Amino acid sequence: MAALILIVALVVVSRTSDEPIWQPSYVTETPSAADMLTVGRLNAACRRGGLPEIDRQCEQAAQRLDIQPERISMEQLIREMKGT
């Protein structure tokens, strides 16, 4: 009985190891600007390096779109968020 279980386990393991491992497309391809600014990508950037990493990623996305982002101060951002 133990030999039968061992043979079944080996067959199952050998079948699963031959299957290709799925990789997300962004690992093998250069991400587009839109891909770089998705919530998931920005969350990952935040975990890697906080706000400086998010800023760097946004700047890279802007470069791919060939635009220059406008720099604003924290006060301007707060006023804009409050709607004044």
Which tens digits make up the pLDDT trace of 20-79? 555 555 555 678 888 888 889 999 999 999 989 998 998 899 888 888 877 888 888 888
> Per the structure block, which two tokens stand in for 50?
């906080």
Three-state DSSP at 20 gives coil
Quick check: 30 and 61 in contact, CB under 8 A? no
Q: How many CB atoms lie within 10 A of CB 57?
A: 20
More confident site: 4 or 23: 4
> Per the structure block, which two tokens stand in for 18?
């031959």
Tell me what pLDDT residue 53 has. Answer: 92
In this predicted model, what pLDDT tens digit does every residue of 12-36 receive, in sequence order?
A: 655 554 455 555 555 556 788 888 8
If you search the block for the tokens 């950037």, which residue do you land on? 45
Quick check: 33 and 62 in contact, CB under 8 A? yes
Tell me what pLDDT residue 68 has. Answer: 81
Identity of residue 55 = D
Tell me what pLDDT residue 1 has. Answer: 65
